[in-house]
Chain A
Amino acid sequence: MTRSRVPGLLAVPAALAVGFLAIPLVGLLGRTPWGSIGAELASPRVLEALRLSLICSFGAVAVSVGLGVPLAVLLARVEFPGRNLVRALTTLPMVLPPVVGGVALLLAFGRRGLVGQWLDRAFGITLPFTTAGAILAEAFVAMPFLVITVEAGLRAMDRRFEDAAATLGAGRWTTLRRVTLPLIAPSLGAGIALCWARALGEFGATITFAGNLPGVTQTMPLAVYIALETDLEAAIALSLVLLAISLAVLVALRDRWFPTA
Chain B
Amino acid sequence: MLRSRIRLTAALAVAALVLAACGGGDERSGGSSGAASPGEIKVFAAASLTAAFTKLGEDFTAANGGTKVTFNLAGSQALATQIQQAAPADVFASADITNMDKVKDLVVTPQNFASNQLAIVVEKGNPKDVKGLEDLARPDLKVVLAAEEVPAGKYAKQVLDQAGVSVTPVSQEDNVKAVVTKVSLGEADAGIVYVTDVTAGGNKVEGVDIPKDQNVTATYPIATVKASKAQDKAQAFMDLVLSAEGQQVLKQYGFLPPPTT
A1-22, CB < 8 A from B: 1, 3-4, 8-12, 15-16, 19
**Cβ contacts under 8 Å, A112 to chain B:** 185-187
Q: Across the interface, do B142 and A129 meet the contact criterion of CB distance under 8 Å?
A: yes
Are B11 and A211 in touch, CB under 8 angstroms? no
| Least CB distance, B11 to chain A, in whole angstroms | 4
Residues of B within 8 A of A4 (CB): 4
| Interfacial residues of chain B within 15-61, with CB under 8 A of chain A in the complex | 15-16, 18-19
Q: Which residue of B lies closest to A217 (CB)?
A: B171
Cβ of B149 and Cβ of A226 under 8 Å apart?
A: yes
Most A CB contacts (10 A, CB to CB) among B19, B75, B78, B170 go to B170
Closest partner residue, chain B, to A17 (CB atom): B15
A111 at the interface (CB under 8 A from B): yes
Does chain B have a CB within 8 A of A137?
no
Instruction: Type the 1/0 row for B94-128, where 1 means its CB is closer than 8 Å to any CB of A.
Output: 00000000000000000000000000000000000
Seed contacts A19-B15, A230-B81; 5 additional CB < 8 Å A-B pairs: A11-B12, A16-B18, A111-B187, A211-B172, A211-B173
* Chain A nearest Cβ from B43, distance in angstroms: 19
**Alpha-carbon distance A14/B14, docked complex (angstroms):** 12
**Most chain B beta-carbon neighbours within 10 Å: one of A4, A15, A210:** A15
- Tell whether B90 is near chain A: CB-to-CB under 8 Å: no
For B193, list chain A residues within 8 Å (CB).
none
Q: In the complex, which residue of chain A has the Cβ closest to the Cβ of B142?
A: A129
With A112-B187, A207-B174 as contacts: A12 and B147 at CB distance below 8 Å:
no
Interface size class, chain A: 20 to 34
Measured in the bound complex, the distance between the Cα atoms of B173 and A226 in whole Å is 10
B77 within 8 A of A: yes
Chain A 195-231 interface residues, beta-carbon cutoff 8 Å to B: 207, 210-214, 216-218, 225-226, 228-230
28 A-B pairs within 8 Å (CB atoms) are namely: A3-B1, A8-B4, A9-B11, A11-B15, A12-B14, A15-B12, A16-B15, A19-B15, A110-B186, A110-B187, A111-B187, A112-B187, A126-B142, A128-B171, A129-B142, A129-B171, A129-B188, A211-B172, A211-B173, A212-B174, A213-B171, A218-B172, A225-B174, A226-B174, A229-B78, A229-B81, A230-B149, A232-B81
Asked if A69 is at the interface (CB within 8 A of a chain B CB), the reply is no
Residue of B with least CB distance to A218: B172
With A128-B187, A212-B147, A226-B149 as given contacts, are A8 and B171 in contact (CB-CB < 8 Å)? no
B257 adjacent to chain A (CB < 8 Å): no
Min CB distance A16 to B, Å, is 6
Chain A proximity mask over B125-148: 1 for CB below 8 Å, otherwise 0: 000000000000000001010010
Residues of chain B within 8 A of A1, CB atoms compared: 1
Most A-side CB within 10 Å, residue of B1, B12, B174: B174
CB–CB A111/B11 < 8 A: no
Chain A residues 208-261 with CB under 8 Å of chain B are 210-214, 216-218, 225-226, 228-230, 232
Q: Are B174 and A213 in contact (CB under 8 A)?
A: no
Residue B201 at the chain A interface, CB threshold 8 Å: no
Tell me how far the C-beta of A12 lies from the nearest C-beta in chain B, rounded to whole angstroms.
5
* Shortest Cβ gap from A236 to chain B (Å): 13
Question: What chain B residues lie within 8 Å of A128 (beta carbons)?
Answer: 170-171, 182, 187
Given contacts A110-B186, A229-B149, whether A11 and B8 have CB atoms under 8 Å apart is yes
Min Cβ gap B19→A in Å is: 6
In the complex, A214 Cα to B169 Cα: how many Å? 11
Contact at B11–A12, with CB atoms within 8 Å?
Answer: yes
